[in-house]
Structure 1
Amino acid sequence: MPSRHTQSALPSSRSRYAAKCVPAVWLAAIALAVFAACDTPGVTLIDPDVTGDDDRSFTITVQLEDTMLARTLGWSQGVPDAEVYLMRVGEEFDPIVIVTDSTGTAVLESVLPGQYRMAAYRVLGEEETGPTGGRVRAFGDGRILEVEVASVISLKLLVDRRSSLVFSEVQLAASYGGTNNPGYQWFQYFELYNNGDSTIHLDGMLWGWTWHINRALTPAPCAATEPFRNDPLGLWAYYIHRFPGSGNDYPLTPGQTVVVALDAVDHSVVHPDLPDLSTADFELEGTVDADNPDVPNLPEVGTKEWPYGHGVEPRAHPMFLALPLDLSTLVHQTDPFDARDWVRIPTEAVLDVVSIAHMSPDYDVLIAAPCALPVPASMDRLPRAQLTWGDATLAVQRKVLQAIDGRLVLQDVNTSFVDFREATRSPGTIRN
């Protein structure tokens, strides 16, 4: 039986932002194989060289997809006070954040055309929950799209859903550097949380990467990878691990977590900034790593073996969690780019997806621009940014939405960009 972990404080009230650039600077990856962080001066969407009287603004309208709920909340015209985030692909800066007016509209002046990452987010304040029976609700949307000046962009917000088993935290700082231990990355982990109302058995469930060629690369352009990335019938994968158990061996009750470590050992002996994962609930099985006999292994069952011998590493790619499946009975397909055997995880078997991506000139320009969708929009609309590369003290954590009967409920609007935040790691504990 895995050990059980605790949850902590209730969510605080939502902060509001003015229409301005946030002054912080992102840290990001420099290269694919060698990982290092560097400070880069922030830039904004404002073009200092623009002259003339041309209209260089564009308008954003924000509405709910659920029109009935919109009427109930009095938002038929649009979503008021929604936070809209904009980031121009290829520029390194914190997102510009603007807030919609009473009609759900926001206008941004002096805009450069190009490809943008754009998201919108709204959480009901306690004083607004009368129409929802006192329940706090969250709404979100996100996309990557081409923006022309003097245009109108419409965002349709999904309402949160009370999902069952979800990713609650992912530690994927690719490697810890330092003079004595360059390239040490075996401290990665992910955490799962039972966000529902009934006990879940983890036995036989699948975890892995989805299709992860999500940039406009010369041998695999976005148009060619679209059938794999955006398949309504399921997620294509070949790096997959399976939870152990025969059906009822590993129950997870509502409000509890499990931590799955890449290597379930005390990494703090390498450096004090690294986590002690020796008490993790599970570890990803590898061929050359040290095995903790007290921690159950997730064997690798995909069509391709991870080449580094420590199990598949959580990285800045879309990751999925799925119900138990016999992979031999599923649809397989060889891709035309490097002849790898992919297996399709049916949509109805997918429990959760988290997408994390590099958002920096080192990737968007030096490597390639991102494709519009890394996974179908029904599963995730916009990845969360991997901001601080190589900082082992940080993790990507799902936001706490509210507490019901003393139990924390995590936010899930199928948009990783607004569902997750970067915060101090806390494997096994849900924190706000």
Structure 2
Amino acid sequence: MSHYQVVKGARDIFPDEMVQWKYVEEVVSRLAVTYGFSEIRTPVFEYTELFQRSIGASTDIVGKEMFSFQPDPGGRSITLRPEMTAGVMRAVLQKNLLAASPVQKLYYISELFRKERPQAGRQRQFSQFGAELLGASSPAAVAEVIIFMMHVFESLGLKGLRLRINTLGNRDDRQKYREALRAYLAPSFDRLDEASRERFEKNPLRILDSKNPEMQDIVAGAPKLRDYLSSDAVDDFEKVLAYLSGRGIDFQIDHLLVRGLDYYSYTAFEVTSSELGAQDALGGGGRYDSLALELGSPSEVPAAGFAVGMERLLIAMQKQGLFQQQAPEGPSVFVVVQQPEHFDRAFEIAGKLRRSGISTVIDLARRSMKAQLREANRMHAASALFVGGDELASGLYALKNLVSSSQETFSLDGVVTFLQQQTPVNGNLR
């Protein structure tokens, strides 16, 4: 056993788990293409000021949770990305993609990093999938990202989800509301917990989102954001809801819902699962037209997006038994060497099968036939190809189906043809 252990807050993902991860990733990617989204990958680190400007200095992420460092004594501070939206917007602005096409629809499946207290579904290195729709923030655009997200959950078979949705209004609406909220909270300041006291001046809306029951009691009688919304914000929100209702998507309007990042405006939303306990959020997002301005753009860029935590999603799916039918994917064929002296020829045959696009395994440990077949079954191989002196002399090979136990005899070219009909060819290797 190694003296070294995985770093606290990170975890290894082993091959048996990867079957589940790949399944979810394939569903996400397939549906992203269906909705017209293209994949983007950005660096795992960015200049620290990108997140300070975009996420907001008053947020817990910037204040407490970022992994930041200086690569050299005179260098600018660099941060491992704690979220994806800022990096995607930075990339789009830097490449000037909106000049080529006024609407950019991008999705990602990425690793992120935050100084969290590790617990189930919350790690310091974690994964998200998400989407950003840039160049359009109409009610239809906002509804589309929500519909895409909910379609992923539906395709994965998840039940018991709750979509909470709210409108945060525009900047002027929120500024008026912040002042009213501070005035309401001021007499109760001494009763606020430490986190809420920190937020009182910087971002009092975050106090509404506190999970502390005592804070929830205090804000129960607070002024409602909806009473400070402009008519345009109300109309915009109602149109978003109408699009969702038209698609049969259930939602709950939650006037206390405020997302934890400063760049959100207008519609914000969150999806929770009853399977996740106190930390029940699977994902969420919203509209963020002003983010581009914070990053130096001369004008706003209409935008909306969402992100979903992969670890929490997998926990919810596991608890609902959604992976029970997800059988491990094994090789198409396991080459069984009958006599040790024929290993080199069998190795050549395995290479021919692979060049023909057939997933093939051969036992490099040169174990007995019985041990090889045991390994083939452990790997969930679909079939076994027997190679021995008789087969090499006659040019005819026994191919055994390891599921049905049926067996047929083919020439080597016949084996290739038969197996290619069973599985798709990967690449043009013939």
> What range is the shorter-chain TM-score in?
under 0.3
Structure (1/2) with the larger strand percentage: 1
- TM-score w.r.t. structure 2 length? 0.27
Structure (1/2) with the larger helix percentage: 2
The higher relative CO (CA closer than 8 Å, separation ≥ 6) is in 1
